[in-house]
Amino acid sequence: MTLGESHSDLKLATGDRQSPENLKTERDRFVALAFCSADLLVELDRAGVITFAAGATNVFTGRSPDELKGLRINDLVHESDLRKLDRLLRDARAGTRIDDAHITLVTAAGPPMMLSTSGFHMSDLGGHTYLAFRVKTTSSEYADEDAVRVEGMEVYDRMSFAEAATRAVSDSVATGEERKLTMIELGDYNELRERLTEEAQTELSATMGSLFRASSVDGDLAGQIDENRFGLVHDVHLNVENLSRKIETFAREMDPEGQGISVGSATVDVEAGIMSEADTARALVYTINRFCEESAGNFTVRDLSEGFSSLAAETMERRNQFVEMIRDGAFDVAFQPICDMKTGRPHHFEALVRFDHEKFEVSPFEFITFAEEVGIICDFDLAMCRKVLTWLQGTNGQGYRYMTAVNLSGQSLNTPHFVKNLMALLAEFKDARQHILFEVTESAKLHDLEEANRIIQILRKAGHIVCLDDFGAGAAAFQYLSALDVDVVKIDGAYVIDAIKNRRHRALLKAMASMCRELGIKTVAEMIEDEEAADLVRECGIDYGQGYLYGRPSKLITAFESPRPKAFAREKSVA
């Protein structure tokens, strides 16, 4: 719906007999709807004088809507586009719709900004022309094609912003172009939204999004970190204090109680030459994640500003320590049995990393998460595979027939050089490789499911069982199952625990098992801690189980009953 169509519909809907109050209500409603596709709205009389304005007026002009009334639209447009605007307005009065024309405004927040402009002339409404300005939504060159935006604000969501910001800052380090990352925290933002009408909330979101995008690189490198925290990558000329004041002023004017919000900001200056481009990117991602995940009381924007340098140094020191540990293979492997639910006997074992806590005060989960964030998970996954294959070669070479599952991060699976190195490693262990299977973890989201499935099929054709780990734990679990052709799914233990307590969850668990059975996929349930859980899992038709009932992880695999050789999901021959 265009702005012109909105006012045409308004006339038809209200009729000439409506009271001024009702007309104003209808007009406000249609203005609010227009904010779904615009950041700034103006109404011009025949002489080009502004008779009405709404939206992010303070952001783009430094004036309130009332202060704009009586000004000529030419006063707001950069001199380079005055002739273009004059032509567009003439064409509009002749009946031509203005559709996505580029007009540059002289903004208040920084240098002139090119905006996408649409408009329509209404001869039956006083001969006025209605213009809608919008920050260009062409994606930043640093954003992925499938980058996700926050509806209503049109800034990037947390993950998309982190990835784009990383590329932008890395590029600035490489080229010497100075850019900064600013995090903004809006105090009492949710409380303000609760005091507003639905239409006013729409205007608030649209204006805030416009302001953040307008202040950022490419007019598009801004993101929402959580409910009241935002980030933007910008050049050195941005006056952050001025930006904060504009946010406070606009919020106070929007607030029916006149309270507004508080604005906290912290700017990170990433200097070239301190770290490599890749290391800068990794430190930045880790910092953004810390900013996102820690509670407001423990990690504020001020902490970010004051602590980034030390945090970056700490991150790189920790990373280098782990790189050395991976290179030297200075970690142990523990084994946990995965048992046949019918017999209770071990079928195969999951290989789990263990550390010397005197050297590495970190849990396996924390290590894996950190390794994914700083880009060393591929190295670790290869090192783990080598260690397990070496162990299998020695142990099974003595007459045992142990089969072991090794975890592969989704991040590794989406990395071409990792797959190439993995296949070379498997070729090196011609005998031992027939006893290894792979569990694909969801701890790092699989961004390219088509490519991930291609790699999975390479592994399967080479004779290896592939399991999708933690099934059901993430919102994308069923999407993964639809896109990835695997042999086994491991159902997240939370479903087992919930099924014990709740009949509805039990039905869900049973439905998962039934669906997998229909697809010819074997199932493994986690967190089987006692006989009650085991009985439930068997009742639901799940094939295999893992948990403390069958044994805690142990570095001594001989502590468990030796499994009998048995096909897992299908007969395979190693290529």
Residues ≥6 apart with Cβ < 8 Å to 63:
57, 71, 108
Per DSSP, the chain holds a count of helices (H) and strands (E) of 20, 17
How confident is residue 195, by pLDDT bands cut at 50, 70 and 90? Answer: very high
Q: Distances in Å between the alpha carbon of 228 and those of 56, 61, 219, 317, 418?
A: 19, 25, 21, 32, 38
How far, in Å, CA of 206 to CA of 222, rounded? 13
Average pLDDT of the residues in 67-73? 92
Q: Which residues pair with 121 in a beta bridge?
A: 129
Average pLDDT of the residues in 11-22? 46
The token pair at 108 is 């208040």
Question: Among the listed ranges 6-15, 71-80, 118-127, which one has the minimum average pLDDT value?
Answer: 6-15
Closest by Cα among 343, 350, 345 to 526: 350
Positive or negative, the Cα torsion across 23, 25, 27, 29? negative
3-state helix, strand, coil in the chain (%, to 5): 45, 20, 35
Q: For 336-358, what is each residue's pLDDT tens digit?
A: 999 999 999 999 999 999 987 77
How confident is residue 211, by pLDDT bands cut at 50, 70 and 90? Answer: confident
pLDDT of 114 above 80: no
Average pLDDT of the residues in 101-121? 75
How confident is residue 285, by pLDDT bands cut at 50, 70 and 90? Answer: low
How far, in Å, CA of 450 to CA of 454, rounded? 6
AA identity, residue 328: D
Average pLDDT of the residues in 246-263? 90
**Per-residue pLDDT at 136:** 63
How confident is residue 429, by pLDDT bands cut at 50, 70 and 90? Answer: very high
Positive or negative, the Cα torsion across 47, 48, 53, 58? negative
Closest by Cα among 321, 370, 330 to 353: 330
Residues ≥6 apart with Cβ < 8 Å to 384:
333, 351, 353, 406, 407
Average pLDDT of the residues in 488-515? 90
How far, in Å, CA of 516 to CA of 508, rounded? 12
**Per-residue pLDDT at 269:** 61
**Per-residue pLDDT at 411:** 84
pLDDT of 280 above 70: no
Side-chain-facing half-sphere of 331: CA atoms under 13 Å = 29
Q: For 118-153, what is each residue's pLDDT tens digit?
A: 888 887 777 899 898 887 656 678 887 778 888 878
Token look-up 């990558």 returns 233
How far, in Å, CA of 572 to CA of 522, rounded? 15
How far, in Å, CA of 540 to CA of 537, rounded? 5
Q: For 513-532, what is each residue's pLDDT tens digit?
A: 999 999 999 999 999 999 99
Q: For 361-419, what is each residue's pLDDT tens digit?
A: 778 888 887 887 777 889 999 999 999 999 999 988 787 889 999 999 988 888 888 98
Average pLDDT of the residues in 98-121? 76
Q: What 3 state SS string does 218-269 have?
A: HHCCEEEEECCEEEEEEECCCCHHHHHHHHHHHHHHHCCCCCCCEEEEEEEE
Which tops the pLDDT comparison, 281 or 156? Answer: 156
The token pair at 469 is 């780990």
Closest by Cα among 468, 395, 385 to 433: 385
pLDDT of 295 above 50: no
- Alpha helices per DSSP H over 329-442: 364-373, 377-396, 410-413, 416-428
**Per-residue pLDDT at 5:** 37
Per DSSP, 96 falls in state P
How far, in Å, CA of 190 to CA of 357, rounded? 43
The token pair at 402 is 């142990």
How confident is residue 194, by pLDDT bands cut at 50, 70 and 90? Answer: very high
The token pair at 256 is 């029916």
Q: All domains of the chain, ordered by start, with CATH?
A: 3-135 (3.30.450.20), 158-318 (3.30.70.270), 331-551 (3.20.20.450)
Which tops the pLDDT comparison, 333 or 268? Answer: 333
Q: Is 61 helix (H, G, I), strand (E, B) or coil?
A: helix
Question: Among the listed ranges 58-62, 391-395, 399-403, 462-466, which one has the minimum average pLDDT value?
Answer: 58-62
Average pLDDT of the residues in 222-251? 87
Q: Distances in Å between the alpha carbon of 524 and those of 433, 446, 489, 558?
A: 22, 21, 6, 22
